[in-house]
Chain A
Amino acid sequence: MDLEYQYLVARLQEALACDERVGSQDIKVVLTAGRIHLIGDVPTEARRAAADEVAHVIAPGVVVRNELRVLELGEVPRPEAIE
């Protein structure tokens, strides 16, 4: 991978953490075949869209594949007995 790509991944991850609309240190950024892939779970559709915008600002002109999923919660679990 081009060294500049590695720096770009780091800068994008930092931007995703610091952007007030996203605020996530949890988004995996993969740069491959000239495309940015955003991977992981976010709590809302708004944050998914904001992450996309941040990626386009940090890497203008690069194709962004937004593979973020909005986290879906399951049912309340059965209780676990702690002994």
Chain B
Amino acid sequence: MAVAPARDIDPFTVEIVKDSLVAIGDEMFVALQRTSKSTIIYEVLDFASGLTDARGQLITQGNGVTGFLGTLTFAVSYTLEKFGADGLAPGDVIITNDPYTGGGTHLSDVSLVVPIFYEDELVAFSASKAHWTEVGGKDPGSWTTDATEVFQEGLQFPCVKLYEAGRPVQGLIDLIEANVRLPDMTLGDMHAQAASLRLGERRFHELCDKYGVDVVLGSVEALLDYGERMTRLELARLPKGVYEAEDTIDDDGIGNGPFPVRVKVAISDDEFVCDFTGTHPQVPGPVNCTLTGLHSGVRTIFKAVTDPHIPVNEGCFRPLKVICPPGTIFTAARPAPVSTYWETMEYVTDLVWKALAPVVADRLPAGHFLSVCGVVVAGLHPDTRDLFLLVEPQAGGWGAARHRDGQQGLMCVGDGETYVIPIEIAEARYGILVDQYALDPTDAGAGRHRGGRGCVRDYRAVADEIYLTATFGRHKFVPWGVDGGSAGSRNEVRIFHEDGREVVLGKCARYRLVKDEVARLVTGTGGGWGDPRERPVEEVIDDVRNGYVSLEQARAEYGVILDPDTFEVVRLERSES
């Protein structure tokens, strides 16, 4: 075993230890992915794991969805606040999902925290947060669009010990087992999560054994300072000033709304302050977001405008300040329901984005479809009679950028690296047929650069009956354009009933469709950038040929009148010519 050099830490060792710390975060992430029993963890990657220092400052984090960015810090800080360093012992595992104190978002997202001791000294924490498929509550899968208080949404773990000094707290585990619908899966995920934290602990110990604990802790400081230094260099390149944005959240899923939200972003030489004062108070339905989600939402966009390539750690966020009074839709208090908090967290990110897009044009495109467009389809499979449960996000259109058209058919910002379910798999596994999966050509998103197209996906019931739960935000207030670009189009669910009735909605809970009825899932087209009449005529002709722009939109918004058969220009209606 190599021994740490006695002299001061040399710059190369610091680099190597820094990289090793980042690799530990990645390894913990892969370990949980590999051992989890829930598809939402090992396929959708709806989890994060990493290390913090002894004060709870994030050292490194691996995550699949951007919505978890930086949330581990809050779970650890609250653990420290509640137990104190003296109240923690080697072998402890702490469990928390409390949305209103540190680290919680909705009850399905459960954080575990392991204090890491080296030679009797608390030196770090490993922590992870994962979406458990089942935490009890009034509906299967726990999250729902019509809860009215948190008690309907599942079990609450108010930052308590799951293991004490290496021994499981069996009473708590039995209690969990008795209160969830799929105990095998839930407890399996719990053990997998704990095991990945122990792995992080072991790797941290190995690092201390090899380089010496002082060298490792010195490197941790260097890593945090490095994140801060790199971020400040980027911050210096941002335009100084105060930028404001307002928007509106559709509704809360149970008939209330709309809700105005707003931000004021102040960028100075050494600070980036987001002030959400003036945002609507918390609401009766489950779209409320709490403090941790607010911070994650801001951190996501802050990372995007500084440098997303800098490995994430607490140092990166030192210049960032978030201000918001308590009791708003972004800072809801107990017992507000929170199960679809992500719809509102997306607005946190989008507000700052909207405020800055005109002035940080090299990094931010126009508004995108924004909503996760979460869908749950449940029913009995016609072949096996087994219960099936399709849970998926939808892909949609992104906004145009200053120098290019928007991306088509991508996940929304908060969903990060997640995937749609392939048609073949959807049809084989669930009691549905996919009649079409196409880009949606609704007239929207025109501009010098046009917004990327959303998608349209038709689910036809093959089972005798299926039940659809959907939460499509931005159903009433569409993605924004920039610099004269048109707004995008809305997200919507359109139901075609047997008797010819057509129902259009943004949110629904357990909506019944019978065999051969169709649910059409439509995601928005992103906003455009710049005056559509400045888009070169040849590009408009190509768009029409390719089906991205209709003849009517070409005429009305781009001022290009084309022959419907030959696509030759009949007339231009543009001021400059």
Q: Do A and B come from one complex?
A: no
Q: Which residues of A contact B (CB under 8 A)?
A: none
